[in-house]
Structure 1
Amino acid sequence: MTTTTLPTGNAPATGADHGWRVAAIGLLAVRFVQGWIYWGGATRRFIYGPQKLNPHDHWMAYKFQTAMPGALLGTDHIVAYLLQHFYLLYAGLLIFSAIELVGGFMLLVGLYTRLAALATIGLSTVLMLLFGWQGATCIDEWTMASSNFAMGVTLLLVGSGAFSVDNWMLSRRPGLAQKTWFRWIGGSLPLPLSDAAFKKFALTLLGISVVFILSTYNYYRGSIVTPFHGGPVSPSKHHIALDHGVLSADGSVYFHAYVDAGTPATPSHVMRAVLMNSKTGQVIETWGTSVLAAMPESNFQNDFAYQQFKAGKFGLFGGVGAMATIHLPSMTAGGLLPPGQYVLSLTSVNEHVWKLPMDLEK
């Protein structure tokens, strides 16, 4: 592959340079859009909406927590750990945003283009693993991450060519054309590979892209070798997982709840809780909307400081990713429950019901 500087402006190009120049001009829109996506996301936090990085406001940690239910490859445990360690969480979100800011700017102006493209590949991979499951109608987050991944791979291979700071630097310092590091991280020249090696490298990246994109798509929605499905974690229908139930003899209940599915745009509301004998069906305790709405904060031991379970106008509510141990006090005066098997059921405002079998505490 040639090491000649690609012409700028309207200067003619011939031979091997011509193909790279045409490709670079053709990909200007791709480079701009990829750069703007990350630059725009970062500037919204650093400049135009700084409350997104203000821990005393409704900041990025809330969005970060909503990733937990569907995060892949164990990244939900990483999210949970960071949420419980504020300084690591804040540093991580700042670093991620800074990479978006710098990487996006570098793509916009064509500065060390291949290095910036590699950074955006990493960012899109992280976003896919964390948020790829979200998007109730068009798996929006998967679409964004997969598109950014493909654009990053393309820019890594082709670079920026003409109309870039990389090319301007090369015109000022022609000796950079002989520097292997510049050809790998810059974008004004082809990669320092033979045609055969470049083809092998490009096909390898294509294979990685195909496997990454299709495997995540099949996991989230099927429609490749299996029928369409709504995903192992629903991005539209709220679900509350219940466990660690403790039933006291006086009828009071403790249980752990986790909003492990649904849209992050709205919380899940529980308007009624009922304790009944699972064999006879006899209702033992009922906590209606007014009772749940009046519960004090002390009845909620939330696992995290951001998305939480709370009492609200329509009973209890919790956003996606919220986890808490909840105490429902006894509503009947006196009397002890006889030994037996019981079940607690929670009913949401849209009539979804979640149940938890409970044994009487000994």
Structure 2
Amino acid sequence: MSALTFDGAAAVSNPAAQRSKADALRVAALGLLSIRFIQGFVYWGGGSRRFIYAPAKLDPHAASWMANKFQSAMPGALLGTDHVIAFLLQHFYLLYASLILFSAAELITGLCLMAGFLTRAAALASIGFSVVLMLMFGWQGATCIDEWTMAACNLAIGATLMLGGSGAFSLDNVLLTRRPALAERGWFRWMSGALPLPMQSGTFQKLALVVFATTVVFNVATYDYYRGSVITPFHGGPVSPSKHHLSLTDGVLLPSGAVRFHAFLDGGTPASPSNVMMAVLKSSDGAVLEQWDGTALSRLPASAISNEFAYNRFAAGPFGLQAKMGATGTITLPATGNADSASLPSAATLQLRTVNGNTFNVAVRAE
């Protein structure tokens, strides 16, 4: 069988030039060995934690159940992935199957990269993981966008391995040595990393530049969206990863005198819950019509809180109303006897005050 050049064409002359090219490819392969193994270890670590070392992450009854992390990412997820998360959270079997499949894919991809088996296919899978993780979790990180940083680096590494392959210390090389005929198989050239891609040098250069441009544009654009500092000044992002924010809508005073509203904790860190310590119903001139202090909020019955998702929820806490990141629900505050729908002014406002002094308002109308 004749030798194959970088271009994928057979070569029968100038063996010195071919040896020079082979040596250059070997040097490049050895240079990629460290990042190939560590990229694989990162993804193997993600999958193995859930299946082996911390199986509670895949236990729906455990506090560390992965659905909670998914829901915490929902407020800042990009390009419609927030709707995908919401859909999965509302369909348990699809959610559970998705988490199992994602974890298994991470585990298998990591093992393939560490071993250098079907390296280009595994690298392409790692690119997909990186893009999905950046879109869903990239906004998170209270002091820096650490989720984005990890995914951005993994995206660049995956792109490099997809183009460069795994010519050194890999199972792809072992397979090629034992079955030299694989060198003539297109699927092996595209999926493994033992040989250069089967294309002309000029075509490969164009592909490499397209991959480079796509990686740079995606990474830089998402960074600018999350934090600026590219074409705009630094900013905290459309969704704050450190300061809790409540979006309140649909405020209604019921005939019984109770106040109902919809709440969504759509900003802040998932490391700690948001705590609402007081709710006040005010008229347009600032007069207090109703008031619920921390004690009243902590005694709200479960029937007063209707959560849209079963994981991160609004609930009565020890010092008031408590919410975990991404919590969404409708809350009814019971009547205290100080106001009713007949006496409610045309313009009234319900104000929630959190433990750190932030206030959030919603207009209230009579039903």
- Is the counterpart of residue 68 in structure 1 residue 68 in structure 2? no
Corresponding residue of 1:306? 311
Task: From 73, 82, 86, give the equivalent of 2:88.
Answer: 82
CA distance in 2, matches of 1:156, 1:262: 36
TM-superposition CA deviations, 1:185-213 (whole Å, max 9, x none): 00111111111111111000001001100
Contact 1:251–1:337 under 8 Å retained in 2: no
Equivalent position SS for 2:183: helix
- Is the counterpart of residue 322 in structure 1 residue 357 in structure 2? no
Equivalent position SS for 1:274: strand
Deviates more, 1:249-258 or 1:61-70: 249-258
Q: Where does structure 1 lack aligned partners over 5 or more consecutive residues?
A: 5-12
Task: From 176, 195, 202, give the equivalent of 1:196.
Answer: 202
Name the count of aligned residue pairs: 352
- Is the counterpart of residue 118 in structure 1 residue 86 in structure 2? no
Structure 1 residue 254 displacement after superposition: 0.3
Equivalent position SS for 1:313: coil
Task: From 90, 103, 112, give the equivalent of 2:109.
Answer: 103
CA RMSD in angstroms comes to: 1.4
Give the counterpart letter for 2:303 in structure 1: S
Give the counterpart letter for 1:281 in structure 2: G
Corresponding residue of 2:140? 134
- Is the counterpart of residue 177 in structure 1 residue 183 in structure 2? yes
Contact 1:273–1:287 under 8 Å retained in 2: yes
TM-superposition CA deviations, 1:29-77 (whole Å, max 9, x none): 1001110111001000000111100112120000011111010011111
Task: From 34, 55, 63, give the equivalent of 1:29.
Answer: 34
Task: From 273, 277, 298, give the equivalent of 2:279.
Answer: 273
Contact 2:173–2:194 under 8 Å retained in 1: yes
Residue correspondence of structure 1 range 143-154 to structure 2 within 5 A: 143-154=149-160
TM-score under structure 2 normalisation?
Answer: 0.93
Contact 2:279–2:291 under 8 Å retained in 1: yes
Task: From 290, 298, 301, give the equivalent of 1:285.
Answer: 290
CA distance in 2, matches of 1:203, 1:314: 57
TM-score under structure 1 normalisation?
Answer: 0.95
Contact 1:251–1:285 under 8 Å retained in 2: no
Percent of aligned pairs with the same amino acid: 56
Contact 1:67–1:130 under 8 Å retained in 2: yes
CA distance in 1, matches of 2:349, 2:92: 37
Task: From 82, 91, 96, give the equivalent of 2:97.
Answer: 91
Structure 1 residue 294 displacement after superposition: 1.0
